[in-house]
Amino acid sequence: MERAVGLERTYRLGEFKSLKVSDHIGGIPEEFATDEEFISDLKALQIISAEKLYYQYAQLSDVLPDLEGNQEKVDYLEQLEKDLYARLSGYLTGDNGKEETK
């Protein structure tokens, strides 16, 4: 029987704004799901990933106001999106841009 763990975290941004981060990991085999240390480490990784995402959001929020006009902001976000799609595609093709070490 497979199990799952999840995390939902809401960050208050002020002025009635918030950022909600959710993470779900499913398909955990029974032998790992019953290992308390493994599950604890997995949950810790989810928390760390959520915190990292919050700071990435904050960093992006700092950059966008410095850009001139909406089009420049859209162009910046589209370039980030394009770069991320290329990196993710690299994982599927086996060319993730990392040099093999011998």
pLDDT digits (tens, 9 = 90+) for 45-77: 999 999 999 999 999 989 999 998 899 999 999
DSSP one-letter string for 73-86: HHHHHHHHHHHHHH
Is residue 101 domain-resident?
A: no
CA 61 to chain centre: 16
Is residue 100 domain-resident?
A: no
Whether residue 33 is predicted with pLDDT greater than 60 in this model: the reply is yes
Q: Which domain holds residue 14?
A: 3-93
Q: What's the pTM? A: 0.71
Whole-angstrom distance, CA of residue 88 vs CA of residue 91:
5
pLDDT of residue 99: 53
Can you tell me which residue has the tokens 């002025």?
15
Is residue 76 domain-resident?
A: yes
Is residue 68 domain-resident?
A: yes
Helix (H) / strand (E) containing 62: helix 36-63
Residue 34 phi, psi dihedral angles, 5° rounding: -95, 0
Q: How many distinct structural domains can be found in the chain?
A: 1
Is residue 28 domain-resident?
A: yes
